[in-house]
Structure 1
């Protein structure tokens, strides 16, 4: 447990436990919601584009099918063709509309409830404290209620408050990567969101927590993934600088870079762990 609190990596002799897939899916769902709301997400840009293309493609395919059916029905006369042309024009406009991000977020939040329902018994068996389960449930309910405000920033704040509980759940499992990296994600996102809300005092407090968590985690790496860790180290300093300057536009840019560097480091650590397993 001390390793989990300090961020120290577990000894290699300790067998790594498998984290429930539902917990990983909860993380992915949270990132997707941030993405559709155009917020600070760990999702790669190409993944975001693929998701948008998939949604648009599905709608356009439905529109094309409707147009084909309409054309076949208009062969009986020019008047029907004119009417069909008007109909298909309206359909094209409808199918080219961008999906409502708030509706997408609501659907994804509903899925979060299902995933949480599935993972609760698993973490309960791992000895999760009652308070931990209650805190996550309360945060999820608050997130769900926030959607009714239709305020994207309030939704993202509630979403990040939910993500704050993720590290404690990961800490229930003995893995080769400390859950401290989840805290780094949380504090990075907090600093970005507070800066975008012009709450510079809280943004500054969040960046201090980020630097503290990162220093703890970086020391535990003991030189591993040096390139990725150096990039992240420098990007955090750059993010801190623009927060001190109260430059919202640069915070968005530097924040995106910081989150991308965290994602790269996490991926690198996971690949290194997988490589060790294959060699055994």
Structure 2
């Protein structure tokens, strides 16, 4: 498929959302004997309506939504604790997270043709807006209080990315760079929140699956570039340290 070549030119390890869903849920069932009917699913992805790339929510019940603009876990510590308290008895926790970026049929990153539209629009719109402000040298710290109150998530997103501003602007592809650095920020925040609330989890395992979602036109499947797949043993006596499943032979053979 032509779109696959365009996606993998930027993300060589990307796979379709359907493939990601089947592969990882099968891995959880067969390698970890996880009961998917008792698994509570959470997401920290952008609130954009295009982010339905995987079928996790069709297999796993009641997704707990942590993310907002850009995919940052805006629900914070309170949200993570609430999620930890909702896991079924004998079940596991599973959190899928990451930013998203569009790609046109011609292979341009940062834009896409959405369902029912002929024109191209930005994806992720919040990240492309942040990039435009960085390029125009706008300072998010100078926003007036009313703006902070009524546009909290966008301003928080830009402040979170501010330490990466120079690297983003000098990258070969700033649109890809701002997306990649957003992934870094989300990954760090999710793991920090899990660490802070670990004692509140009554399940034995927390699975963390993170990656970048690549949105395509409606004729094609969306793709996901997986960046990490970790398991946290909540009863472990060792200090908090996610264990990467990426090193398992079972994962390598997906």
TM-score, length-scaled by structure 1: 0.27
Structure number, greater radius of gyration = 1
Q: Which structure carries more strand by proportion? A: 2
Q: Which structure carries more helix by proportion? A: 1
